[in-house]
Amino acid sequence: MEMMNWRSLVAAMCGAVLSLGVASAARAESGAGPEAMSMGNMCMVMFGYDMIHITVFQPDKSRSEYCSEIPATGRTIMAFDIETPAFRDLPIELRIIRDPLVPVTKDTNLDELTELHLPAKKYSKGTFSVEHEFTANGHYIGLVTLTREDGKQETEQWKFSVGETLWAWVPQIAGTILIAGMVFVYWKHTHPSPKKAKAPAETVES
């Protein structure tokens, strides 16, 4: 019975560690929520069912591709692929802002938060890229604004982080604590405390 309890405890802890890993991966790949999705290391900003793919590189550091988690500051290249042919004849504006950690609305002063800004322009070739030097770790928001034929503007966004942030370490820390707990429970199970010997009953002389 004790062995079954021990195995159940180990299984529960392993499940918890696995859940943390899955949750971390989901967070890393999730982009900005309903406005942005990701596939592997490529983000997709959605305008209805139409999309613009975004891939991030840091050529001075590695050949890897990134999406919502850029590992370090420094020279960064963002490549945009306009998948919908009709979008290639429409002006597209790009703005990268520092995440104010509150909802961005029409009343938000974007100029105070702007890290990078590309004015609206048509990209007839269907692709464009921008290079930027990130100097500070933190959370950022990419705003992509599309101007329709009738002049109506639509803005979608994706969120990303630059550099190691606290959230990047949460799964590792929690996993380490859980594993340490498993080791401690196992040690306690295999090294039970010696029982204290009962003192002999005192005899009363008559």
pLDDT higher than threshold 60 for residue 51: yes
Average pLDDT, the chain: 79
What pLDDT is attached to residue 166? 55
Task: Indicate the pLDDT class of residue 181, thresholds 50, 70 and 90.
Answer: confident
pTM of the full structure: 0.64
Q: How far apart are CA 118 and CA 96, in angstroms?
A: 9
| Residues with Cβ within 8 Å of residue 97, at least 6 apart in sequence | 104, 110, 113, 114, 115, 140, 141, 143
Q: How far apart are CA 138 and CA 154, in angstroms?
A: 26
Encode pLDDT of 157-170 as tens digits. Answer: 999 999 975 544 45
Task: Indicate the pLDDT class of residue 95, thresholds 50, 70 and 90.
Answer: very high
Task: Indicate the pLDDT class of residue 136, thresholds 50, 70 and 90.
Answer: very high
Query: How much of the chain is helix, strand and coil, in % rounded to 5?
Result: 30, 35, 35
Q: Residue holding tokens 């209805």?
A: 48
**Alpha-carbon distances of 129 from 38, 61, 109, 173, 179, rounded to whole Å:** 18, 18, 25, 36, 44
pLDDT higher than threshold 60 for residue 61: yes
Helix (H) or strand (E) holding 173: helix 166-190
Q: How far apart are CA 52 and CA 87, in angstroms?
A: 9
Bridge partners (DSSP) of residue 54 are: 43, 80
User: Among 1-15, 45-59, 80-94, 176-190, whose mean pLDDT is lowest?
Assistant: 1-15
Is the pLDDT higher at 8 or at 87? 87
